[in-house]
Amino acid sequence: MGLEQMDGPYGYDARPSDARSAYANSAYATPLTEDMPDLGDVPDMPALPPNGFSKYANGISKPANGDSKPVEHIKIPREIRAVQDAESYEPTGKNIVICLDGTGDQFDADNSNIVHFVSCLKKAVPEQVTYYQSGIGTYDGGGVTNGINAGLDMAVGSGLGVHIRDAYMFIQAHYKQGDKICLLGFSRGAYTARCLAGMIHKIGLLPAGNVSQVPFAYKYYKDDTDEGWAMSQEFKKTFCIPVNVYFVGVFDSVASVGFFPRKLPLSSTPTHRAQYFRHAMALDEHRAKFKACRYKVKDTMGEKYTVSAEEDIVDTDVREVWFTGCHADVGGGAVKNEVRHKLAQIPLRWMIRQCFECDTGIIFKTPNLANEGLDIHTLWPKYETLSVPTGPPPPDMLDRYHKGLLGPIHRRSSLLEPVDHNDEYGMHHLKIYKETDSEKPSADLHEHWTPEQVEDYFDALQKVNDQLVDAKGWWVLELWPIKIRHQARDSDAWVKKIGLNLGTYRAVQDKTPNLHWTVKHRTDQMEYRVRTRMDRNAEWRVVV
């Protein structure tokens, strides 16, 4: 099948025309059947044409008229909304942004992508309220927890209900009609976010102040029996407001919470689904208790929910993309904050861009986006979609990278200067070019500005942080019997069998799974191969 036209909001081929032939047959993973222990060698990928980064090396996107001459200054506001067209966007209410961190994750010296995302958000303004929740094993609803309680929470997910209810009550306290609810999460926080969406969709939202009913709402949400479904629908009609979640964005959502599986209704009813679901997934994760929890269109909630005449069916726009790395390489937290290049920065920038592509309206602080490596001048006033690069960065940038001379990523925001120094929250000049003595603007980028996809290019070459290699204690769980997916020998069906995981890589069951372009770039530049177990008829689709 190769790379083809896609329907929906991604119904375009974002790659430059000269790259399409190079990626036209980019299926490069051999499927793994029941009797195959590994993938073996991955077939060679097509070579990339040279100079594919010429567009990005100038630091600005090419205008529609084809004029790629640099401009002296770019003007951009101090805060920007995540929308495709800022000039025409009209908000219907405020944004409620819920950010749920992974197991044991909190603000510390090796922050997750959830913390990085939160750091970019505009907070405590009428147009937007934000909520951050540290991960399972860090608190129990009454404050910080440690020792035995923390270990128990991480082992069996005992605090999962507390995390769901606390986030639910925040939304309950702030929601007004017309508001947009956006949920983001990593690891078990991603699972929590999806459970929270399931609770909101199944039970509805209790009016502000009606906190005493939250335990009952959670009770009926958890009950997946026929009686539980009947009670939940009556509870919703009696006490709650029907509300939709607008956006769910998750980093490597996992299928289990703790050592023992804890299953809760994740998905949604046919009439109440999130409008957008985005999922960044780890190609190299292969621990037993970290199986990817994929989005499922058909689910038990849909089968048991009665659609009333006044409700409309909602179709969720789903996009799940595979990235290089293990669990914390995708969700962040694998390396120290001060490390210049890391794999986790790639899915972070991708997720932030998805917020723009999905018109979430989330308000971001422009300097913070710049410091995460985004080309902020491509985000406002009209969002510019990136293309798959077709070659390496310019030689001078490659040389500076190898010599360790690239400017610190946190200095990118230093190139933003207020147009009016008395109005620090107004328009700013973005000075990404070197100053010159002549009237003619310079075409050379400032030393503190490395373009976004050049950042991706170098980040993609960093170490994969495999816990089965770096922390041998994880092998204890590899000897615990679990259900493992295999593709049947005589059909296309995938079946589950009980067995030992023993470091088995994840199963990719899609026919045309999405692969981020940086994975293909890594296979070209390093001795790296994709080792997921593929559907025997699958072909990768390279995306940005």
Q: What pLDDT, on the 0 to 100 scale, is given for residue 119?
A: 98
User: Is 424 contained in some domain?
Assistant: no
Instruction: Dump pLDDT digits (tens) for 210-224.
Output: 999 999 999 999 998
150: left (phi > 0), else alpha (psi -120 to 50), else beta? alpha
SS3 213: helix
Q: What pLDDT, on the 0 to 100 scale, is given for residue 207?
A: 97
Q: What pLDDT, on the 0 to 100 scale, is given for residue 536?
A: 86
Are residue 354 and residue 484 in the same domain, yes or no? Answer: no
User: Is 413 contained in some domain?
Assistant: no
* Nearest-angstrom CA–CA distance, 387 and 15: 5
Are residue 37 and residue 121 in the same domain, yes or no? Answer: no
Are residue 122 and residue 55 in the same domain, yes or no? Answer: no
Q: What pLDDT, on the 0 to 100 scale, is given for residue 141?
A: 53
**Residue 13's CB: how many other CB atoms inside 10 A?**
16
Degrees to nearest 5, angle at CA 318 with 61 and 194: 115
Q: What pLDDT, on the 0 to 100 scale, is given for residue 537?
A: 86
Are residue 156 and residue 229 in the same domain, yes or no? Answer: yes
406 secondary structure, DSSP code: S
Instruction: Dump pLDDT digits (tens) for 449-497.
Output: 999 999 999 999 999 999 999 999 989 989 988 888 878 777 778 888 8
Are residue 401 and residue 315 in the same domain, yes or no? Answer: no
> Taking Cα atoms as reference points, which of 457, 467, 475, 452 lies closest to residue 519?
457
- Residue 238, domain CATH: 3.40.50
Structure tokens at 198: 């399931």
- Residue-range definition of the domain harbouring residue 39: 8-72+389-406+450-543
Q: What pLDDT, on the 0 to 100 scale, is given for residue 491?
A: 75
Q: Give every CB contact of residue 208 below 8 A, 6+ residues apart in sequence.
A: 172, 173, 174, 175
User: Is 430 contained in some domain?
Assistant: no
Q: What pLDDT, on the 0 to 100 scale, is given for residue 122?
A: 98
306, burial (CB in 10 Å: exposed 0-12, middle 13-18, buried 19+): exposed
Structure tokens at 440: 């003619």
Are residue 326 and residue 264 in the same domain, yes or no? Answer: yes
> Taking Cα atoms as reference points, which of 308, 254, 310 lies closest to residue 279?
254
Are residue 340 and residue 255 in the same domain, yes or no? Answer: yes
Are residue 180 and residue 326 in the same domain, yes or no? Answer: yes
Three-state secondary structure string covering 485-514: EEECCCCCCEEEEEECCCCCCCEECCCCCE
- Residues (pLDDT < 70) of the chain are 1-73, 103-108, 135-158, 256-263, 266-272, 297-313, 424-425, 436-443
Are residue 61 and residue 122 in the same domain, yes or no? Answer: no
Q: Are 102 and 115 in contact (CB under 8 A)?
A: no
Q: Give every CB contact of residue 92 below 8 A, 6+ residues apart in sequence.
A: 178, 179, 180
User: Is 411 contained in some domain?
Assistant: no
* Nearest-angstrom CA–CA distance, 331 and 55: 29
* Nearest-angstrom CA–CA distance, 319 and 514: 8
Q: What pLDDT, on the 0 to 100 scale, is given for residue 420?
A: 85
16 secondary structure, DSSP code: -
Is the C-alpha dihedral spanning 517, 98, 111, 136 positive or negative?
A: negative
User: Is 266 contained in some domain?
Assistant: yes
* Nearest-angstrom CA–CA distance, 39 and 41: 6
Are residue 29 and residue 107 in the same domain, yes or no? Answer: no
Q: Give every CB contact of residue 395 below 8 A, 6+ residues apart in sequence.
A: none
Are residue 53 and residue 131 in the same domain, yes or no? Answer: no
Q: What pLDDT, on the 0 to 100 scale, is given for residue 221?
A: 93
User: Is 277 contained in some domain?
Assistant: yes
Q: What pLDDT, on the 0 to 100 scale, is given for residue 148?
A: 52
Q: What pLDDT, on the 0 to 100 scale, is given for residue 496?
A: 86
User: Is 2 contained in some domain?
Assistant: no
Per DSSP (E only), the strands in 194-263 are: 247-251
Structural domain count, the chain: 2
> Taking Cα atoms as reference points, which of 534, 510, 452 lies closest to residue 33?
534
User: Is 519 contained in some domain?
Assistant: yes
Structure tokens at 315: 């179709």
Are residue 66 and residue 105 in the same domain, yes or no? Answer: no
